Amino acid sequence: MATLAIGDQAPAITAKDQQGNTVNLSDFKGKKVILYFYPKDNTPGCTTEACNFRDNYQSLKQDGFEVIGVSTDSEQSHQKFIEKFELPFTLLADEDQKIVNDYGVWAEKNMYGKKYMGTNRTTFVIDEEGKIEHIIKKVDNKNATQQIRDLLAK
């Protein structure tokens, strides 16, 4: 499993978005990217985080950011999630877990004493050159955008 650090080149991504279009991380060269990994569409924490990015999307775009969400859900699941919550950004389907493994966020989790593999909620802020500028491992779902802004202000 990859362990990424600030200053590392962000691993390449090629995946399908909610419309079935192929998206490459390299398509965003020259822009800053908020790449956020979340466990599952339509779950309370993931919905809260996605809606926080939705509600702040215009100001993030004005600051030069693209927002991309990644989970191991299907394109169809992403499409329903986007429609239900009017999400204005891209969600990538990582059904084969390649991206979550490349970014080191696929890990053993424990819920009610049951161990299982899943996505650790993590946000990567990637600069215009494709380098990792920040890694947020303890994401505040309700204030995900502010958490990024606070880091960038330091």
The residues carrying an active-site annotation are: 46
Question: β-strand 65-71 against 90-93: which pairing, if any?
Answer: parallel
Q: Which residues pair with 22 in a beta bridge?
A: 16
Return d(Cα 147, Cα 8) in angstroms, integer.
21
Whole-number Cα distances in Å, 149 to 54, 59, 60, 111: 15, 11, 9, 31
Backbone phi and psi for residue 76, each to the nearest 5 degrees, phi listed first: -65, -40
Residue with tokens 């202000």: 153
